[in-house]
Structure 1
Amino acid sequence: MQLPPLFNMPKSQLQCYGESVYCINEDYLTRCPRGKSSLERFTSVVAWSISTMRPAIFGLAPFDPILGETHHVSRGSLNVLLEQVSHHPPVSALHATDAKENIELIWWHNLVTSFHGTSVEAVINGKRQLKLLTFGEDYEMDSPNLVVRLLPTTGADWLGDVRIRCKDSDLEANLCYHKSQSFLGFGGNSRSVRGNIFHSKTSKTIYEIDGQWDRIVNLKDVHSGEVTVLYDAKKAISKLNTPVLEAPENLWPTESATVWREVSQAILNMDWEKASEAKRRIEEKERELQREWKSRGEVWVPKHFSVAHAKDNEWDCWPLEHSVPLAPIAVPP
């Protein structure tokens, strides 16, 4: 959906995806490989998955990434790289590696939006794969949908079911992001999450999950009745540090911050005319390049990922390199 800069936040959607991985105060990701048992590691993966669901801001949307746009950031030993591998439909791919913790993360997202009269729903197709290489454990998970409510009250929420599975340990989790009962759209808690962790073969529940994903999510041991905190949003996403450019000479021209620099600065200065003109130039250049490729019978090929497109919005995106290099942009410790 094309929006005038007045309704844009000064960042690309690629940056928003990346931030959910590297922009964190309490590091839930590095807890995953430090678990002493497969169950402890699986529980940590569930907590990390919840940590990637950040509150959306109603009325403001990030820029739609242009084809080939990249975002490359490091946080400690974690290096994160994203690339926009398709523009129509919009598909984003992410690869992250941490050599110290022996972690690899591969994502791809294909957004399909639909209008429902009083709301807009973005179904996030794709896959999230987290590998704990030391233990040979692969975790696969999906994402809830983003629903923007227009009437009777406005807001943006994550809603829907998430399945997390590790075939190597025979453990699985189901999470339901939902909105509690309200009257005519008023009241109620729209940021609740409930679910359970269980053995895949027996379907026997080990833990129950309940709470608010933007506050506290609790974990209850069904055998002992003991309740512990699984996820604390305040600790996770408060006091976040802004990434800084440490090596300008290594910055790619496709970097999100470079592509959208002029538009972002104009938005921050509230110079809407300049922002509109700069955004128009970027979008027109994108359309011109695509016309040129089409006229020459060429197909654009991603630089960092191999891509396979099947029917029914099914995509497969895999990184071309074994690991992600250190980025010129870094999150301060």
Structure 2
Amino acid sequence: MAEEEEERRRHLVLAKPFSLEDENNSEHTASNVIRRILSLFKNVRPGSDLTNFQLPPQLNLPRSQLQCYGEMIYSLGGQDLLGACSRRDLPIERLKSVVTWNISTLRPVVFGMSPYNPVLGETHHVSNGYINVIAEQVVHHPPVSALHATHEKENIDVMWCQYFTPKFRGTYVDVEVKGKRVMKLLNRKETYEMNQPRLIMRFLPTPGAHWAGKVKIKCPETDLEAELNLISDSFIERFRGNKNRSIKGKIFESSTGNQLYNIFGHWDRTVMAKNLKTGELEVIYNAKENIAELKPPTVKNPKEVMESESGIIWSEVSEGILKNEWESAREAKSLVEKKQRESLKQREASGELWVPKHFSMVKDGKDWDCSPLHSTVPRAPLVVTEAEGETINQFQDNNNLC
């Protein structure tokens, strides 16, 4: 049994993060995805009941939503943007660094393709340098995910609790990402509260997906605040197939409204900050330096990988997708979903309540709030490093990965 358990832990598949350059992969263009969707429905009769229709693996990215969340923090191209938030001496410089880090969490989205919905209790635990990240699925209906990250050297604490509320708007789906994001610079005794942008999945005039809406970042201790507007594409730009990922914003004093900086640029290229007092311009973010050529984690300590690790739970599904073995992937996905339903039935029969392992949670009306049970996140058995390590997935090549 011990050998079987160790072998299961070693069979862990995590596809590489979706990077800036991967958008040019023809496999994931909107037209190809639409053709794939239509091919899946070619044998479905008009008027058929689609109530129990399950998303087939052909429309899944080979990763769980938990991995997507974790990547937004631990997966960056060489720069420690999180640690920089506390290293700056002046409060205004620290807020600019928090703005830069927040922009770095924006990643390209593949239209029509979806990560797996995490199962209840699923976890994802990864370290990169001084950054340690743990994510857990704390509620299944609705799907609520909690994430805790800590920076060992700079004594930084990041807490996310988030869930989606999609709404159909006719020609597009508006996905509101609810919950909270809080960063604490413990050495500075500062707290930064921020909300999350919306995700727009548009069908007409041309299909595509992009981030939109207003992001607010506020620090009560320094009386400083930032607003970032992610600009939605215009009808003409959408018709021409252009991608407008521009950002416009400002940094100002909360109490007086006195504006200190203008923020502008494109989150998938560069973002600038203009000092309104001196007129000085500076590049505060370069996407090519931070979200390009991203690498997957590797296994450092196989015996320490939790049974609930996302890469273990979905390993056979991801392996089937990466090999284009769709029937194998479908069977593996059905098995994961079946196990989740059986676990739910067992808990209901015994009257057992589900208790998350790493977070406490509170429901206030329709909203959820999560808090970590521990003050720091321990070093993970999965690491992002250039050093020697056991590669997680032997099927990872640039032709197959998204």
Match of 1:156 among 194, 209, 212: 209
Q: Does 1:210 align with 2:264?
A: yes
CA RMSD of aligned residues (A): 1.3
Deviation at 1:195, TM superposition (A): 0.7
Aligned to 2:18: none
Aligned to 1:64: 117
Distance (whole Å) between structure 1 residues aligned to residue 237 and residue 382 of structure 2 = 46
Aligned to 1:292: 346
Match of 1:241 among 295, 298, 302: 295
Q: Does 1:103 align with 2:159?
A: no
Aligned to 1:264: 318
Deviation at 1:125, TM superposition (A): 0.4
Deviation at 1:181, TM superposition (A): 3.2
Greater per-residue strand proportion: 1
CA deviation string 1:242-278 (max 9, x = no partner): 2101111001110000000000001001000010010
Distance (whole Å) between structure 2 residues aligned to residue 185 and residue 248 of structure 1 = 46
Larger Cα-atom Rg:
2
Deviation at 1:296, TM superposition (A): 2.2
Aligned to 2:329: 275
Aligned to 1:44: 97
Match of 1:308 among 345, 357, 362: 362
Question: In structure 1, what residue type is equivalent to 2:248?
Answer: R
CA separation of 1:184/1:77 partners in 2, compared to 1, >3 Å: closer, same or farther?
closer
SS in 2 for 1:275: helix
CA separation of 1:57/1:180 partners in 2, compared to 1, >3 Å: closer, same or farther?
closer
CA deviation string 1:157-187 (max 9, x = no partner): 0011111000011100111111253428324
Distance (whole Å) between structure 2 residues aligned to residue 5 and residue 321 of structure 1 = 36
CA deviation string 1:107-135 (max 9, x = no partner): 11011111122112211001111111111
Question: In structure 2, what residue type is equivalent to 1:132?
Answer: L
Q: Percent identity?
A: 48
Distance (whole Å) between structure 2 residues aligned to residue 272 and residue 215 of structure 1 = 35
Greater per-residue helix proportion: 2
What pairs up with 1:174-185 in 2 under 5 angstroms?
174-183=227-236, 185=238
Alignment: residue pair count: 332
SS in 2 for 1:194: strand
Displaced runs of 4 or more, over 4 A: none
Distance (whole Å) between structure 2 residues aligned to residue 76 and residue 212 of structure 1 = 28
Deviation at 1:138, TM superposition (A): 0.6
Aligned to 2:58: 6
Distance (whole Å) between structure 2 residues aligned to residue 110 and residue 309 of structure 1 = 13
Q: Which runs of 5+ in 2 are unaligned?
A: 1-52, 387-402
Do the aligned partners of 2:164 and 2:177 also contact (CA within 8 Å) in 1? yes
Question: In structure 1, what residue type is equivalent to 2:316?
Answer: E
Deviation at 1:81, TM superposition (A): 0.2
Deviation at 1:223, TM superposition (A): 1.6
Do the aligned partners of 1:180 and 1:192 also contact (CA within 8 Å) in 2? no
SS in 1 for 2:236: coil
Deviation at 1:324, TM superposition (A): 0.8
Do the aligned partners of 1:108 and 1:127 also contact (CA within 8 Å) in 2? yes
SS in 2 for 1:325: coil
CA separation of 1:100/1:2 partners in 2, compared to 1, >3 Å: closer, same or farther?
farther
SS in 2 for 1:185: helix
SS in 1 for 2:229: strand
Question: In structure 1, what residue type is equivalent to 2:208?
Answer: G
Distance (whole Å) between structure 2 residues aligned to residue 212 and residue 123 of structure 1 = 21
Aligned to 2:128: 75
SS in 1 for 2:72: helix
Distance (whole Å) between structure 2 residues aligned to residue 277 and residue 181 of structure 1 = 42
Question: In structure 2, what residue type is equivalent to 1:288?
Answer: E
What pairs up with 1:113-192 in 2 under 5 angstroms?
113-183=166-236, 185-187=238-240, 189-192=243-246
Distance (whole Å) between structure 2 residues aligned to residue 208 and residue 180 of structure 1 = 21
Do the aligned partners of 2:83 and 2:151 also contact (CA within 8 Å) in 1? no
Deviation at 1:298, TM superposition (A): 2.2
Q: TM-score, normalised by structure 2?
A: 0.81
SS in 1 for 2:97: helix
Do the aligned partners of 2:211 and 2:232 also contact (CA within 8 Å) in 1? no
Do the aligned partners of 1:152 and 1:184 also contact (CA within 8 Å) in 2? no
Do the aligned partners of 2:217 and 2:226 also contact (CA within 8 Å) in 1? yes
Deviation at 1:190, TM superposition (A): 2.4
SS in 1 for 2:115: strand
